[in-house]
Structure 1
Amino acid sequence: MTKTEVATAGGEERRCRWCRRALPVRTGRGRPKEFCSQRCRQWDWVSRQRAADLEISDGELIIARRELDELHDQLYMLACAVDDTERDLADTGTRATAKELREMLDWLLDAAKPLREAQISAPSGPS
C-alpha cells in the first residue's frame, strides 16, 4: 500500500485501533473503518472489557515482561546501529565508497527490521 492509498484523518494516516497498521482509503459512504480486520475489532473489545474488569485507564497498558524485554533489546540494537553508522560516516566523510555506504545501510536495516515486524501479542485468557 502506497502513501497515496492510505486513509487520512486531518492530514494524518488512519491506523487500526488495535494493531496500528495503516488502513486503506475508504471510498463511498459510511463510517470510516477503525480496524483492519474483524480479529482486531474483537481483540480491541476484549481488551476494553478486561481493562474495565481490572479498573485500568485508557492510558495504561499491561504487557508481558518478555515482550517488553524483547522490545528494549530491539531498540538497543537499533540505537547501536545508528551510533555505529554516525561514527562510520564521520570517519569516512565524503570519502565513503558505495560499498561502504551499502554496508552501513545494510547494518541499519538489519537492526530496524525486527522493530518494523514486531507486534505485541493479543492478551491471553486469565491465568
Structure 2
Amino acid sequence: MRAGTRRRGAPVRCEWCGRELPVQEGVGRRRRYCGQACRQRAYEQRNAVERGVLPEDAVVLSTEERDDLADRLFQVRCAAEDVATALQESAGKAELADLVETLMDAAKAAERLR
C-alpha cells in the first residue's frame, strides 16, 4: 500500500508519529500529519535524505521524544523486573495478573513511537 492510501474503515494515522488523526469530513486535501511539528520533521528528514546526510531508513526524533521513549522503556523494564521478582517469591495468581497487566500497559505505551 503506498503512502497516503488506506483501507476502508482503517484509522488515518499521522505519517510521521503514527497518532490517529480525527475523521475528516467533506472535500479537500486529506491530512497527512497531526500537526506542524510532525510536518516539519518529515520535511527535514526528506531534505536530509535527498542531500545524502541521512540514510533513507533513518528515524529522526527530537531530544524530548528520545527522552520520553527512554522513560517508557525504563518503565517496561521495571514492570518486567516486578513480574520476575513476584515469580521468584511465588506470588499468587491475582498479584501476578495485576503485575502482568501493568507490564502490558507499559509495553503498549512504549510502542507509541509510531
- Which structure carries more relative contact order (alpha carbon 8 Å, separation 6+)? 2
How far is 1:67 from its partner?
A: 6.7
Specify the alignment match of 2:99 in structure 1.
104
Q: 1:84 to 1:12 in 2, by over 3 A?
A: farther
**Conserved 8 A contact 2:83-2:99:** yes
Pairs within 5 Å for 1:29-40: 29-40=27-38
Number of residue pairs aligned between Structure 1 and Structure 2: 106
Per-residue CA deviation, residues 71-99 of structure 1 (Å, 9 max, x unaligned), is 45642430341353376477312xx3xxx
Specify the alignment match of 2:92 in structure 1.
92
CA distance in 1, matches of 2:65, 2:38: 19
How far is 1:111 from its partner?
A: 4.8
How far is 1:52 from its partner?
A: 1.9
Q: 1:110 to 1:26 in 2, by over 3 A?
A: closer
**Conserved 8 A contact 2:6-2:12:** yes
Per-residue CA deviation, residues 32-78 of structure 1 (Å, 9 max, x unaligned), is 21011233223321221122223434312355899757745642430
Pairs within 5 Å for 1:18-97: 18-62=16-60, 71-72=69-70, 74-82=72-80, 84-85=82-83, 88=86, 91-93=91-93, 96=94
Identity %: 34
**Structure 1 unaligned regions, length at least 5:** 1-7, 120-127
CA distance in 2, matches of 1:30, 1:50: 29
How far is 1:23 from its partner?
A: 0.5
CA distance in 1, matches of 2:36, 2:67: 29
How far is 1:26 from its partner?
A: 1.3
CA distance in 1, matches of 2:11, 2:66: 26
